[in-house]
Amino acid sequence: MAHAYAPAMLRTAFAASLIALLIMALSPLSAAPAVPDTALRAELHCAATFAILASEQARGSAAALALPPMAVRGKRYFTDVGERAVRDAGMTQEAVRDLLTAEVAEMQHRAGPDSDRGPDKELAAEVKPCLARLDAAVPPLQVPDLAQCAAILGLAYEEERTRDPQSPATRDLQTLAQVLASRARTAFITGGASGDGADAAIEQARDAMRIEAENRPGGVDNYAIAHCYDLAAPDAKSHY
């Protein structure tokens, strides 16, 4: 559901809070303030743009949700660019934060009441030129199949269960994992596998995903997990 108050892309206070949280992930460096070159400035501008888009998507903005999801890839790009600004360009965390906050304020101003395009079109106009940079820096998320989704949600269920076995989140994840495993099993059997073969294929996918989660940078975050929720959606005229 979209936020009720959205005359601009993002309120400055919220943007500053988001940027401050992401900056905390950067390694500290006691260098003197530095001015980024043109290329780095463009990357920082895109980082701020992705932070805005991720925030608007979290708020449920329909226009933002029509653009590529940024919760995982945008955050990774933001963090990588910020670390590079600190490590290679000699900028301080404070300088990076201030520049990003200024970028957000400027974009917010352009998307204000006097904008010819309006906030939604302004956001899209800011994001689209940056997508090529995102694709070059952070590979697009892989779209998982049913068996991979069953494995991903199964691992999420196990992790949540260790934190709180009785929480609603734990029960929801268990249900979703079971639904996906059942649908994957049906798909394997429809494709010609035996029941035992389908079970073995699901278990193989689970083992492979567990290995990937433990050893691949980013783990399951390299997959478009939102797609798994789509695959687990109730069939028409049915419910869990």
Would you call 54 helix, strand, or coil by DSSP?
helix
pLDDT at residue 119, rounded to an integer: 80
Average pLDDT, stretch 171-189?
96
Would you call 208 helix, strand, or coil by DSSP?
helix
Tens digit of each residue's pLDDT (9 = 90 or more) over 60-83: 888 888 998 888 888 889 888 988
Q: Dump the DSSP string for 97-145.
A: HHHHHHHHHHHHHHTSTT-SSHHHHHHHHHHGGGHHHHHHHSPPPB---
pLDDT at residue 117, rounded to an integer: 67
- What is d(CA 149, CA 165) in angstroms, rounded to the nearest whole number? 21
Q: Would you kindly state where each structural domain of the chain is located, as residue ranges?
A: 12-137, 146-231
Is the model's pLDDT at 146 over the cut of 50? Answer: yes
Average pLDDT, stretch 170-175?
94
- What is d(CA 37, CA 33) in angstroms, rounded to the nearest whole number? 13
Is the model's pLDDT at 182 over the cut of 50? Answer: yes
- What is d(CA 82, CA 94) in angstroms, rounded to the nearest whole number? 11
Is the model's pLDDT at 92 over the cut of 70? Answer: yes
Average pLDDT, stretch 108-132?
81
